[in-house]
């Protein structure tokens, strides 16, 4: 089986398993998703979702957030990891969106990655979910699961993105990203993947070598 065939079979199975696969971050606009994604680095979506309602109530747009007092921003987002750095980044990004892009979040990866705190993963989240453009979102879950399944051999995020892009059709990029992400959160976890109940175990290089637990295999 080619990797392209494997990827399409994996996607078909995961789409049935996770038909609701969408961002877990709460947002109402491209700007809110952009800021939420910056805040989400190395922390949980739940922590971000607890901070953003107050943040956007107080500073609803790029102009307001771009001129916000840094101490107040730190106070609002202190519950997320690296909150001081992130407070500086979201203020600088908001100011840049207001000043250089007329208050509109750009729909270009090249422009988005110029914003403070925005890498390719974050940029792909924004373009795929706000502008319906194809995006390969390489977060820790996608990186781990795609290697286990055998979709990629690379380990660096940008190399993984390039490898997936080389053989997966563009119109499948976003769906594959989201479904694999959900699978990494709910089944193929870092510490203890549940291969015995995985819907793609027969397609997976890692799962095919993992026996079911005694309690499962004896049923």
Tally Cβ neighbours within 10 Å of residue 132. Answer: 10
Rounded (5°) CA angle 180-138-106: 120
Number of H helices, E strands in the chain: 12, 0
Query: Which CA distances in Å does 140 have to 73, 77, 100, 152?
Result: 27, 22, 31, 14
| Options 5, 121, 159, 171, the catalytic residue | 121
159 carries an active-site annotation: no
Q: Is 110 a catalytic residue?
A: no
Q: How far is CA 143 from CA 6, 35, 66, 166, 211, in A?
A: 16, 23, 33, 16, 23
Tokens of 63: 């102009």
Choose among 98, 99, 97: nearest CA to 108.
Answer: 97
CA nearest to 39, candidates 9, 75, 84: 84
In the structure encoding, which two tokens stand for residue 190, read together?
Answer: 């870092």
Q: Which of 139, 170, 171, 192 is catalytic?
A: 139
* Locus of tokens 């399944």: 149
Which of the residues are catalytic? 121, 139
């Amino acid at each position: 089986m080619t990797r392209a065939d494997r990827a399409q079979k994996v996607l078909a199975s995961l789409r049935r398993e996770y038909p609701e696969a969408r961002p877990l971050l709460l947002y109402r606009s491209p700007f809110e998703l952009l800021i939420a994604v910056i805040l989400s680095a190395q922390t949980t979506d739940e922590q971000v979702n607890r901070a953003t309602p107050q943040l956007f109530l107080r500073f609803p747009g790029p102009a307001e957030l771009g001129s916000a007092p840094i101490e107040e921003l730190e106070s609002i987002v202190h519950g997320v990891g690296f909150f001081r750095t992130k407070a500086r980044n979201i203020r600088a990004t908001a100011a840049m969106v207001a000043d250089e892009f007329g208050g509109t979040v750009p729909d270009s990866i090249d422009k988005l990655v110029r914003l403070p705190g925005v890498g390719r993963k974050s940029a792909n989240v924004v373009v795929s979910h706000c502008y319906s453009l194809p995006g390969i979102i390489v977060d820790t879950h996608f990186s781990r699961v795609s290697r286990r399944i055998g979709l990629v051999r690379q380990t660096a995020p940008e190399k993984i993105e390039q490898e997936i892009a080389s053989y997966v059709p563009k119109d499948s990029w976003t769906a594959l990203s989201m479904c694999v992400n959900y699978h990494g959160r709910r089944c193929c976890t870092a510490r203890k993947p549940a291969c015995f109940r995985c819907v793609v175990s027969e397609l997976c290089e890692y799962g095919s070598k993992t026996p079911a637990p005694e309690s499962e295999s004896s049923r």
